[in-house]
Amino acid sequence: MDQAILLAILPTALGSTFSGYIYADNYFELFYNGEFLVNDPVDFIPHNAVFFNITEEEEPECRTFGVLAKDFADDQTGLEYNNTCVGDGGLRLVLSDG
C-alpha cells in the first residue's frame, strides 16, 4: 500500500466550532491537534466522503491537521485491483466555519 502524510497548520480565524468533509482514494485517518478525529469506515472500496464536526473548549494557538492516506496497491506488483492499472490516490479535505 502506498501511504502519505499531510500536515496543515491553519490560522486561528475559524472560530470555536467548524465542520468539514474528507475524502481519500482509498483510505484515510484524520487527526486534529494530535488527536484521532475520524477514519474512513469502509476498508478501501468503495470510495466515500465522511462529514465531521469539531467543537473546541478553548481557542488553540494554532490548528494542526494530520492525514494518513493510503492508496490500495498489490504489495508484489504495485498495481491496483486485479493487477490492471497503476494506483492513482487522491485526497480532499474541505473545512467550513459556517
Q: CATH number of the domain that 57 lies in?
A: 2.60.120.260
> How far is the C-alpha of 58 from the C-alpha of 87, rounded, in Å?
41
Q: Return the pLDDT at 44.
A: 67
Comparing 96 with 82, the larger pLDDT belongs to: 96
Give the type of residue at 33.
Answer: N
Tens digit of each residue's pLDDT (9 = 90 or more) over 3-30: 555 555 454 444 578 889 998 888 889 9
Element holding 69 (H helix, E strand): strand 63-71
Considering its fold, how many domains does the chain have in total?
1
Tens digit of each residue's pLDDT (9 = 90 or more) over 37-91: 998 887 766 667 888 888 887 777 888 899 998 877 777 877 777 777 766 778 8
Q: Which domain holds residue 9?
A: 2-96
pTM of the model as a whole: 0.72
